[in-house]
Amino acid sequence: MEVGFSMGLGIMGKSMSMNILKNGFKVTFTNKLSEIRSFFFEFRVLLQYTILSLRYAVQLIDKTVVLVAKPYYLRPEFIKMSLFPHP
């Protein structure tokens, strides 16, 4: 089973990504390219990585975990709207 975490590379996202990588799992990044480069430079992680749109990434996995901040515009219904086709 492929499990995907959707997270930014902020304080929590960086730590979680590093733990996932350290334990031998694959990580696919959907963040801004500049933030991804910064992440690899900061942690001296020399890995080949994939950058996908979030919509495409969720099609490749069985389960998705989305971690978001508290702002009202990041409520679950807004996240669903950005991931799935609109009616």
pLDDT, one tens digit per residue, over 29-62 is 665 666 666 666 555 554 444 555 666 666 777 7
What is the structure's pLDDT at 15? 78
Average pLDDT for 15-27: 78
Assess whether pLDDT exceeds 80 at residue 23.
yes
Q: Count how many domains the chain has.
A: 1
Q: What is the pTM of this model?
A: 0.47
pLDDT, one tens digit per residue, over 57-85 is 667 777 766 666 665 555 666 666 666 66
Q: How many whole angstroms separate alpha carbon 28 and alpha carbon 74?
A: 21
Range of the domain at 32: 3-83
